Amino acid sequence: MAVLILVGLARSGKDTAADYIAEKYGYSKYTFSSVLRETLEEKGINPTKERMLELGDMLRGLMGMDAIAKLLDKKINKKDNLVLVGPRSIEEVQYFRKKYPELKVIRVVAGKAQRFARRSERDPKEEEGFFSRDERDVKTKGMQKVLDEAQLQINNFGSIEELYRETDSVMKVALG
């Protein structure tokens, strides 16, 4: 079983790279944010970015900084190759590293202008609001440690085809 964790700032291309890995290489994709989205939806609450951030912070306060990893782990089919997307704390990465010592952490990087241009309707419309999330994640959750944990990097500065080529190159290294 191979396990990858894709990390990166908002709209860096983590999900797009993970979708490609899932499709081309036969991995099962799980996102940390899905735990938050599903929890809110089960309670009949619209899962906005802000509400998901608040819920994540609340769960980490109650259950520890690896709370989302623990909840996500319950959803995972253990026999599949896994690509896990979007941890926000180093404790979430360490939780899965204990379970899967061969885990590879891959950072996805894109420029600020590219990331802002990729924002969805759920993201803040102003640059200040959009990039304040980066600052919040780095300061309150230790996101910089998550980014620094990466052994490999996918650069996402061009077209979708270039992202796929970068991902293929990184997968060759990750798979040995």
Domains of the chain by start residue, with CATH: 3-30+81-174 (3.40.50.300)
Using DSSP's 3-state secondary structure scheme, residue 90 falls into helix
Tens-digit pLDDT profile for residues 136-152: 877 777 889 999 999 99
Q: What DSSP string describes 11-53?
A: TSSHHHHHHHHHHHH-PEEEEHHHHHHHHHHHTT----HHHHH
> Which tokens go with 31?
């996102």
H runs (alpha helix) in the chain? 14-25, 32-42, 49-63, 67-73, 90-99, 112-117, 127-136, 143-148, 160-174
Check: pTM over 0.85? Answer yes or no: yes
Contacts of 48 by beta carbon, 8 Å cutoff, 6+ apart: 122
Tens-digit pLDDT profile for residues 26-59: 999 999 999 999 999 999 999 988 899 899 999 9
